[in-house]
């Protein structure tokens, strides 16, 4: 079985992109949790560096080493599962708002190159309008600088609207959970009160029967 290490990255519209690096072992899977609104494009880019024991440093590239990327939506449905090379780029579009799980692991079990060493993975994830290549869009659509700026602003407004809708969705779910919890507490309190009343009545009857049997009443 693979060793799974989960890193929770709760990102909102304030931080729509991030870059990091991490180390994984030969049989280790690294997972990230990302909160994403619905109908939002996500682009992930990564590159790997293998530890070289002879030079005691990471190699600039790792030819021949593959990485497997698996992405699950909030309903744990697999929306992407694919094998890539040592450097890769993956994209997906969210259709359900909520926490998406992004997992990466190497095909090291098939390679003697790894030899029980460690692998450094540089990961860059971009969300929403940050996935757009605006210089390429400007060249393709022949946009002026002003038109390109307007396009960027419109994309940002659209992304902010999606994030606001997602925040309302989260608030609604939290409210429903709170109301459900309050209802359960209320019914439990009523049940406890009824149990106490019934127990008290039973004890009074039992004591009365006891005293009558002893001819004290």
List pLDDT tens digits, range 55-66: 778 888 777 778
DSSP code of residue 154? H
57/131 Cα distance (integer angstroms): 32
- Which residues, at least 6 apart from 210, have a Cβ–Cβ distance to it below 8 Å? none
Q: Which helix (H) or strand (E) element contains residue 11?
A: none
With beta carbons less than 8 A apart as the criterion, state whether 119 and 43 touch. Answer: no
Write the CATH number of the domain with boundaries 19-131. 2.60.120.680
The residue ranges of every structural domain in the chain are 19-131
Between 191 and 210, name the one with better pLDDT.
191
With beta carbons less than 8 A apart as the criterion, state whether 102 and 81 touch. Answer: no
* Residue 11 predicted with pLDDT over 50: no
169/39 Cα distance (integer angstroms): 14
Model pLDDT for residues 82-95, shown as the tens digit of each residue = 998 888 899 998 88
Model pLDDT for residues 131-177, shown as the tens digit of each residue = 777 777 777 777 788 887 887 788 788 878 888 888 888 888 888 88
Rounded to 5°, angle at Cα 215 from 209 and 217? 70
Instruction: List the one residue out of 69, 121, 77, 122 whose CA is nearest residue 95.
Output: 77
Q: What pLDDT shows up at residue 13? A: 38
Model pLDDT for residues 79-126, shown as the tens digit of each residue = 999 998 888 899 998 888 888 999 998 876 545 455 556 788 899 888
Q: What pLDDT shows up at residue 115? A: 55
* Residue 19 predicted with pLDDT over 60: yes
Q: What pLDDT shows up at residue 21? A: 86
86/48 Cα distance (integer angstroms): 6
Q: How much is the pTM?
A: 0.62
Q: What pLDDT shows up at residue 14? A: 39
Q: What pLDDT shows up at residue 15? A: 47
Q: What pLDDT shows up at residue 170? A: 81
């Amino acid at each position: 079985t693979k060793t799974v290490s989960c890193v929770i990255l709760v990102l909102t519209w304030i931080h729509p992109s991030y870059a990091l690096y991490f180390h994984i072992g030969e049989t280790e899977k690294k997972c990230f949790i990302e909160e994403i609104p619905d109908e939002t494009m996500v682009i992930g880019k990564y590159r790997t560096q293998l530890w070289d024991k002879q030079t005691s440093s990471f190699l600039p590239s790792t030819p021949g080493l593959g990485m497997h990327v698996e992405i699950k939506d909030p309903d744990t449905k697999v929306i992407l599962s694919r094998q890539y090379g040592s450097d890769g780029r993956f994209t997906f579009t969210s259709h359900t708002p909520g926490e998406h799980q992004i997992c990466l692991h190497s095909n090291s079990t098939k390679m003697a190159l790894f030899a029980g060493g460690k692998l450094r993975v540089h990961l860059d994830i971009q969300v929403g309008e940050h996935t757009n290549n605006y210089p390429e869009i400007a060249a393709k659509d022949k946009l002026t600088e002003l038109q390109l700026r307007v396009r960027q602003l419109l994309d940002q407004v659209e992304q902010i609207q999606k994030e606001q809708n997602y925040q309302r969705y989260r608030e609604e779910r939290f409210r429903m959970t709170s109301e459900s919890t309050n209802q359960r507490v209320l019914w439990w309190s009523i049940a406890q009160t009824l149990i106490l009343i019934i127990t008290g009545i039973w004890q009074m009857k039992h004591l009365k029967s006891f005293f009558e049997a002893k001819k004290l009443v």
